[in-house]
Amino acid sequence: MYRKEIAANNELKQVMADYYHELNHATKSDDEKIAWCSSVGPAEILRSLDFKVYFPENHSALLGSSRMATDFIPYANAIGYSPEVCSYLTADIGAYLKNVTPLSRAYPEIKSIPKPDVLVFNTNQCREVQDWFSWFANEFKAPLVGISTPRSVGTVTNSHIKFIEQQMEEIIEPLEKISTIRFNINKLKEIVSLSRECSDLWKKVLDTAATIPSPLTFFDGTIQMGPAVVLRGTQIAVDYYEILLAELQERVETNIGAVDNERYRLYWEGMPIWGRLRHYSELFARLKVCVVASTYCNSWIFTAFNERDPFRSMAKAYTELFIVRSDEYKEKYLREMTEFFKIDGIIFHDAKTCPHNTNARYGMPQRLEVETGVPNLIINGDLNDVRCLSDEQSRTGIEAFIEQLEEA
Ligand code: SF4
């Protein structure tokens, strides 16, 4: 055995099953409303208005991890979406066009994705979510509501925050018209407080990986982040991360690593390759290498949430994100992560269809190597379109990179 499985996975499976069943129930009910939300969109506002919140990116990641995504991308290409654009978008639209969802595989009673009463995006991560949600809004004849966030932000200033805060306040009125209840600031405060608790626990979970040996891998993190993405703002997510954190802390106390005999510690920068999680997880573990941390999993840490000032703190939290920021900020962040997690090397994933979550194209890996002395490897691939990936080439590259670490 090279990798240690997380015991809390059983609870996690139940948490995620309950979440999807609740959405499925809402789809059939006239009394419950469903809002689609981009992954770092204003979920707290939606929950405060009693919407059941569905995240298409999570669904598309499931298409990827169940290795269904690549089959459906051509159907979206056929209606005009280039093979070059986000393969979350193309896989998700393609699967919808063929009336297929991985949810039915996991939960046979679920026949389709939940029908939206409203779709809400924030362009903080990319403009693609707007295009993606617009297509579905048109398809379901449902209203589309959005927040526009500036990109390549260096320092997050008061004017940035005010600009987003105002937009967040302005979406309340159209959402209230669709919701079954009136907006209540106290309810929003409660939800922001739960999101903050979830975020703090998720950060503690990820930070356990700073220990040598690390009790957690990036590949575990991509699975464990589910509640932070789809259930932040609920007690369910908080309860789950308390269980997970206790398990990881016990591993830390008893010196148990996620990978047997950890020799090297890597950082993963960029999107996961959903269809190859197990493949990479096993490959690195065989080499006694632990990929301990990632920008991706860290992206659901929102330390700015503050229930005393919900709109402003949400505006700040959703604008401070790594993906929103300038290269200068990103390099500083990666330097800090390299130090904090005691990293021996960085893997940069150049994801063909996601330029926003790819930082390997404009010299950043080379600059960081000069500044920190930490070597890097660039893997060409994609989040969902496995045709963009050569398993053989990436395996050879990884093995050569580890040999390079051995010789250093
Ligand atoms: S950030 Fe990348 S993967 Fe995510 S929706 Fe935008 S383009 Fe797609």
Query: 118-122 and 289-294: which strand pairing?
Result: unpaired
Grouping H, G, I as helix, E, B as strand and the rest as coil, residue 97 is helix
Helix, strand, coil in percent for the chain, rounding step 5: 55, 10, 35
Q: Which residue has the tokens 């046979």?
A: 108
Query: Quick check: CB of 357 below 6 Å from ligand 1?
Result: yes
Across 93-101, average pLDDT: 98
What are the tens digits of pLDDT across the range 254-279?
A: 999 999 999 999 999 999 999 999 99
Q: Which atom, in ligand 1's list, is nearest to the CA of 88?
A: 8
Q: Which of 99, 75, 73, 78 is nearest to 387 (CA)?
A: 73
The answer, yes or no, to whether the previous bond of 213 is cis (omega within 30 of 0) is: yes
323 CA closest ligand 1 atom index: 1
Atom index in ligand 1 nearest the CA of residue 271 equals 3
Over the stretch 7-34, which tens digit does the pLDDT of each residue have? 999 999 999 999 999 999 999 999 999 9
For the cut 70, the answer to whether the pLDDT of residue 1 exceeds it is no
Q: What does residue 267 show for φ and ψ, rounded to 5 degrees?
A: -115, 135
Q: Which helix (H) or strand (E) holds 276?
A: none
Instruction: State yes or no: pLDDT of 105 exceeds 80.
Output: yes
DSSP run (H or E) holding 357: none
Q: Closest ligand 1 atom to the C-alpha of 132?
A: 5
pLDDT for 286 equals 96
Which of 58, 84, 129, 273 maximizes ligand 1 atoms within 8 Å of its Cβ, making it the mutation to test the pocket?
A: 129
Give 350's pLDDT tier (boundaries 50, 70, 90). very high
> How far is ligand 1, taken at its centre, from the CA of residue 308, in Å?
31
Which of 325, 250, 257, 258 lies closest to 295 in space, CA to CA?
Answer: 325
Ligand 1 mean position to 255 CA, how many Å? 37
* Cβ of 100 less than 6 Å from ligand 1: no
Residue 153 is given by DSSP the state: B
The pLDDT value recorded for residue 106 is 95
Radius of gyration of the chain, Cα coordinates, nearest whole angstrom: 21
